[in-house]
Every structure is written in structure tokens, then in C-alpha cells.
Amino acid sequence: MNMHAMLTEALHQGASDIHLVPGHVPMYRIDTCIKRTTHPELTASDVDSWIDAMTSEAHRAAFATAMDVDLSWAVPDIGRFRVNIHRQRGVPAIAMRVVNDDVPPLETLGLPPIIEQLAMLPRGLVLVTGDTGSGKSTTLAAMIALMNARQSKHIITLEDPVEYTFESDTCLIEQRELGEDLPSFASGLRHALRQDPDTILVGEMRDLETTALAMSAAETGHLVLSTLHTVNASQTVERIIDMYPAGQQNQIRAMLGNTLQAVVSQTLLRRIDQRGMAPAVEILLCTPAVRNLIREARTFEIPNVIETSRRQGMVSMDASIQSLFFNGMISREDAISHASHADAMDSALAA
């Protein structure tokens, strides 16, 4: 099986992901749907040959130990991929995410204009959240690219693995990859604070130590960008607080209320007016009222604040989905299935 021909075909068809599993034909994810290809079924030997082509000795040793390994893979004249190698039913399999070399300009992503202002903040914590494949990495990369064009700062990224690559323009950008350049996000964050950064991007706040260090960095005058796998703003706040022991949660609410600047929660919906995906986005901006809600453990009131603060740039997920539907970009079925309140969305779309 010709590896280069298959990758070229996947990119030509607009695939976002490629799945190589022994006993199955190669499959592509195109506009959220898994599509079978016409290639022959893969054997374990086929998959092993792909693994040999994309891994180093260190990767293979890590895979032998952990039975999962993440890496980035660049194929000359084709493109770059974020790769996960894992085992299923006793044999290796591969999941590949296509990574565009060119960072799309922020204004082309269909995101609310307020996100441009968030990229220009001097300090604080900005979180981009959503499910896997919701476009979080692309949004953050576009924000970094905007800084790189307009500011003169030192930006350090800590990623697992590096996806978009940057050339320093008006900013100095250093990109560090988990496993290659640092042993953990927490270690990278701890040492980044001694490297004179203005902005730090943390690939994911996945544990208590990383979260605590990210908040401390934001509190000490840095702009910290990171992600969480949460679906809305209020869940994001609660997820962070729930990482801490009960006895520390009041203190953390106060700290988070002081440092959090915004939560951008997004998901991608299949377009019906043209090929591709459209982002639905919830925006929470930390106004004094929101900071008080966080400190006073009243995060259940955050959705109401978002609904009543549209003039300040906030928007709820359901309002964003409605806008996509009424602009003819997504189907009624997708709008309802992705809504936070399906019955209310059904009624709103019928009005």
C-alpha cells in the first residue's frame, strides 16, 4: 500500500482524520463522518510498516511500555500530522489528525470578534474548551499568530505534540513538545516562568499540578492560554475547582475569580450551504459580576449572565447555534442535537 498516495488522497478529499486499523480498510473522517475507502483491508504488517516510518527509537520504546504514544509527523511535500499509536485487540493501530502548516487568520474562522481582543490581553487566564476535534488548537494557533503580527513579546508554547509551527515575526516564539523537550506540562510551566515569557500556551490543563501552576503564572502577570475538555463556561469553572481538595476550594474560587479573563467554549457543526464546518461558540467574559459569582460558588448563575450580557460580547452556545441555523449554515437536526436545551431550541427554530 502506497503511503504517500493514501495521504495525498486523504488531504484531497478534505479528511480531518485518518484511521488505520488491522482487519479494516483505511477510513477517513470528512465533515464529522467516518468514510470507508476503497483500499484493501489493512494487515498488522501494513500498520507496523507505517509505525516504523513515523517513529523514532524513543517513540517505539515508549509505545512498548505504555501501549500508547503521541507524536507529530511531517511528510515532505504532503503535510504534517498529529499521530496517536495504540493497541486494540492485541495489535497496533493508528489515528492521525491532519495539521495544516498554515495557521488560518483569526478573522477567517467564523469566530466572534471579541476573541481578537482576548489575544491582545496583557495578563490573566484565557481558556478555550470543547470536545476533541472542536477546533481548540486552531483557535489558539490563530490567536498566537495574531500576537506574532501585532505585538513584540516572548511566547512559549508547551504542546503534546506540537501541531502548528510558527516562525517568529515581531514576537519571539519558542515551541516545546511533551516527551521531546519537556517531561510534563507541569515541569515545562515551572521552568517557563524562569525563561522571561510574556505569554504561555499550555496544551491542556489535564491535572491539578498543571492547573495550579497555570493559575499562578496568570496571577503573576503572564497571559496564559490553555484548553479543557468541557462543553460550556460554567462547567469549565466547576471542573477547575473540583480538581482541588474540598478544603482548598474556597481559596481557589477566589484565585480563579481574580485570574480568569475569559472562557471560549466551541464545537464544530457540519455546514449545509457549502462543504466544511461552522463553529458554534459560547463566550464568557469575566466582568466584576462574573468574578463575584465564581468567588461566591454561584456558577449556576453564569448562563443567565451570559444571556443578559450580549452587548459586552458574551454569547451563549444555544444563541450561537441559532444564528448559524437562521443564516442557513446548519441543519435543524444538528442545531437541536448540539443545543444545551434541545426543547427550547426546537421551539426557537419553529418561531
Q: What is the CATH number of the domain that holds 62?
A: 3.30.450.90
Q: Is the pLDDT of residue 31 over 80?
A: yes
Residues 178 and 114 occupy one common structural domain: yes
Average pLDDT over residues 318-325: 97
Residues 119 and 79 occupy one common structural domain: no
Residues 110 and 190 occupy one common structural domain: yes
Q: What angle do CA 34, 178, 67 make, to 5 degrees?
A: 55
Kindly report the CATH number assigned to the domain that includes residue 325.
3.40.50.300
Q: Quick one: residue 161, left, alpha or beta (phi over 0 = left, psi -120 to 50 = alpha)? A: beta
Which pLDDT score, from 0 to 100, does residue 2 have? 82
Q: What domain range is 233 assigned to? A: 106-350
Give pLDDT tens digits for 256-274: 999 999 999 999 999 999 9
Residues 298 and 161 occupy one common structural domain: yes
Q: What distances in angstroms separate CA 145 from CA 36, 107, 125, 200, one per listed residue?
A: 35, 11, 18, 14
Residues 151 and 167 occupy one common structural domain: yes
Chain mean pLDDT for the chain: 94
- Overall domain count for the chain: 2
Residues 227 and 269 occupy one common structural domain: yes
Yes or no: say if 130 and 217 are a contact pair by the CB < 8 Å rule.
no
**DSSP-H helix ranges across 164-221:** 185-192, 208-219
pLDDT category of residue 160 using cuts at 50, 70 and 90:
confident
Residue where one domain finishes, among candidates 70, 98, 126: 98
Residues 208 and 286 occupy one common structural domain: yes
Q: Is the pLDDT of residue 1 over 70?
A: no
